[in-house]
Amino acid sequence: MEKLTIKDLHVNVEGKEVLKGVTLEIKKGQVHALMGPNGAGKSSLGQVLMGNPRYEITKGQILLDDKNITELPPNERAKLGLFMSFQYPAEVSGVTLSNFLRIARNSVKGESMGVIDFHKLLKHKMEELSMDSSFAKRYINQGFSGGEKKRSEILQMSILEPKYAILDECDSGTDVDSLKIISEGINKMRSPQCGILIITHYYRILHYLTPDVVSVMINGKIVKTGGKALAEEIDKKGFDAIKLEA
C-alpha cells in the first residue's frame, strides 16, 4: 500500500528537541487524525514533513511511497504530491488567489492548464466550498476572516490534488458553519488516491469527519494509536487520562 512513512524521527529547533522518535504511517485512502495538547509537537511534525529548514532532523527518515524525501526541499516535496495547509496562513499582497492557484497547479502538475479551463475548475471548486467567486480576484488571505482563510487552504488542496495532505489545525479560528463547510470539503477529497493527516487538539472537527486512525502525541512522542473511539475518549476524559496510561 502506498503511504507516507515517518521512521523514528528526532528533530531539534533552536537547540530544543521537539520530536523524540516519532514513527507514523499515513496511508492513501485514509484520514489519520493526530491529536495532542498544545506544545506536544504536532505542528512541528507538519513543518518537518514539508521541509521547513528551521527544523533540524537529527535522526530518522521520511518516505513518500518508499522514496526518501528527508533531505528534499519543500518545492520538490510538493511536486511529489505533498501538501500542507497552515494553522496561520500568510497574507500575500499583490497576488490574487486565482493567479496563485493556477501557477501553483501548473508547477506541481508539470502541465500548462489554460486560463479558461482553469477558471472553470476554480469556479466549480469554490462553489463546493461555498466561496463567493469574488474571492478569486482578492489578494491571498488579505482581509479574510479566520474561516475564509481556512476555506482558502482547503480550496488549494482541492485544486492541487495532492497524494498526501497535512492539515494543521484547520478547525482553529472557525465558526460552526465554516467548520461544517471545511469538513465537507475534506470529505470530498477522501479517495484511494489521497491520504490525509489532520492535526488538531479539538474533537469538534471529528463530529463531521470520521478518521480511520487516531494517534495521540504528547511531549514529542506518539503515546497511543486507535480509532475514532480514542478521539471520543479524549473528548470525555481529556489528554491527562492518556498521559497517565502512557
Mean pLDDT calculated for residue range 60-74: 96
Residue 8 lies in a domain: yes
- Report how far residue 223's alpha carbon sits from residue 42's, in angstroms, rounded to the nearest whole number: 13
Residue 223 lies in a domain: yes
Q: Would you state the cell numbers that stand for residue 18, as one nine-digit string?
A: 521537539
- Domain with 233 in it: what CATH number? 3.40.50.300
Q: What is the pLDDT of residue 244?
A: 60
Residue 230 lies in a domain: yes
Structurally, the chain folds into a number of domains equal to: 1
59 vs 236, residue with greater confidence? 59
- Report how far residue 124's alpha carbon sits from residue 128's, in angstroms, rounded to the nearest whole number: 6
Residue 120 lies in a domain: no
- Report how far residue 181's alpha carbon sits from residue 177's, in angstroms, rounded to the nearest whole number: 6
What band does 237 get if pLDDT is binned at 50, 70 and 90?
Answer: confident
Q: What is the pLDDT of residue 246?
A: 54
Domain that holds residue 22: 3-94+164-245
Residue 9 lies in a domain: yes
Q: Would you state the cell numbers that stand for residue 224, as one nine-digit string?
A: 497511543
101 by Cβ neighbours in 10 Å (0-12 / 13-18 / 19+) ranks as buried
Residue 149 lies in a domain: no
Q: Kindly report, residue by residue over 81-120, the tens digit of the pLDDT.
A: 999 988 777 888 999 999 999 999 999 888 888 899 999 9
Q: What is the pTM of this model?
A: 0.89
- Report how far residue 124's alpha carbon sits from residue 107's, in angstroms, rounded to the nearest whole number: 21
Q: What is the pLDDT of residue 79?
A: 93
- Report how far residue 111's alpha carbon sits from residue 114's, in angstroms, rounded to the nearest whole number: 10
Q: Kindly report, residue by residue over 113-136, the tens digit of the pLDDT.
A: 889 999 999 999 999 888 889 999
Residue 225 lies in a domain: yes
Mean pLDDT calculated for residue range 226-237: 90
Residue 70 lies in a domain: yes
Q: Please say if the pLDDT value at position 1 is more than 80.
A: no
Mean pLDDT of the chain: 90
